[in-house]
Amino acid sequence: MDFFKRETRFDFMSHRLRAGLVTMALVLGALAVLWLRGLNPGLDFTGGTLVEVGYAEAVNLSEVRGTLSEAGYEDAVVQNFGTARDIVIRLAPDAGSGDALSNAVLDTLRQDNPDAELRRVEFVGPQIGEELTEKGGLALLYALGGILVYVAFRFEYRFAIGAVAAVLHDVVVTVGIFAATGLTFDLTVLAALLAVIGYSLNDTIVVFDRIRENFIRIRKGSAVEVTNRSINQMLPRTLVTSLTTLLVLFALFALGGELIRGFAVALIIGVLVGTYSSIYVASSAALALGVSKEDLVPPPKEGEDAEEERP
C-alpha cells in the first residue's frame, strides 16, 4: 500500500523510443488485421434477422449449419450464445423477415432435434443498418474533433495532437483486437469505444494538467524531467482508477451475460491500452513535437521574482 502513497521515481521517458516502436507495431498490426480480415459486424450494422434457439443438451454447430444449408439458408451464421445449449442464427436480409422466417428456421431445426425451442427473434432492415453504420462512424469523428479543439484551447496545440494520437491509438488497437478474434462488433461495442475515448482522454488530461503545473513551478528542469516527474506523481492515481474500473468490467464480463459481453471486452481492452497511451503516446508525442516550458509558462511580471523549485 505504500506504493500508492509515495511518489515513484520511474524513468518512463528514457524508454519512449522503444515504446514508440511498440506503439507503431500495435497500430500497424491492428490496421493490417482490419484490412485483411475486417470486422465481424453485428446485426445492428448489416441488417437481417437474428434467431436465438435453445436446446436441452449441447448442440453441434457444424450439424446445425449443414441442416440450414440443405434447407436453402447457405449464408446463415451460426454461433453459440452464452452456453453450448444456446445458439444464435444470423440471416441476411434477402432470406426474408418476420414470423414466417423464424418459424421456417425453427421447423427446419426440429427435423433433426425436436427439443429446439425458439427464444428470441430480431429483425433489422438493411437501410437501418447502413444508417447506423454511418452515424456510428460520424460519432467517432465528432468525438475526436471535439477533443482536438478542447485540448488545443485548454493547453497547447502540441498537447492536443498528443491527446488525439493517444485516443486514436486506443480505438485502433481495440478495433484491431476485435477483428483478430472475430468478436461481433455491434452497437454495444461502438458505445464502449466512445466510452474508451472518454476514459483515455480523462487520464491524459490529468497527466497534462500536472505537466503544465510543474512547468510553471519547476523552472530549472528539462521538458523530459518535468514530464517524468509529472507522470510519476499521477501514477498511483492512474493505477487505482484503472484497477477499480477493471474490477467492475471483469464482473460485467463474467456475470453480465452474452448481450453485454462485447461491451465489457471492448472496455477492458480500452482501459489497458488507455493507461499505456496516456504515458507513452500522449506525453511522448508532445515531447516529440517540441513542447517546452516557454510554451506554457507565463512571462514573469516586472519586478516580481518567480519562485523556483528543484526537481
Question: 21-45 burial, b for 16+ CB within 10 Å, e for fewer?
Answer: eebeebbeebeebbeeeebbbbbbb
What does the pLDDT profile of the chain (311 residues) look like in tens digits?
555 556 678 888 888 899 889 999 999 999 999 999 988 887 777 777 888 888 888 888 888 888 888 888 777 778 877 778 888 888 877 656 667 777 888 888 888 888 888 888 877 765 555 676 677 778 778 877 777 777 777 777 788 888 888 888 999 999 999 999 988 888 888 888 888 888 888 888 888 888 888 887 876 778 888 888 888 888 888 888 899 999 999 998 888 777 788 899 999 999 999 999 988 898 888 888 887 766 665 555 555 444 444 44
DSSP string, 203-220: HHHHHHHHHHHHHHH-SS
Q: Are 260 and 252 in contact (CB under 8 A)?
A: yes
Nearest to 165, CA basis, from 268, 272, 269, 283: 283
- Structural domains of the chain sorted by starting position, each given as residue range(s) with its CATH number in brackets: 2-40+128-296 (1.20.1640.10), 48-124 (3.30.70.3400)
* Distance, CA of 250 to CA of 197 (rounded, Å): 19
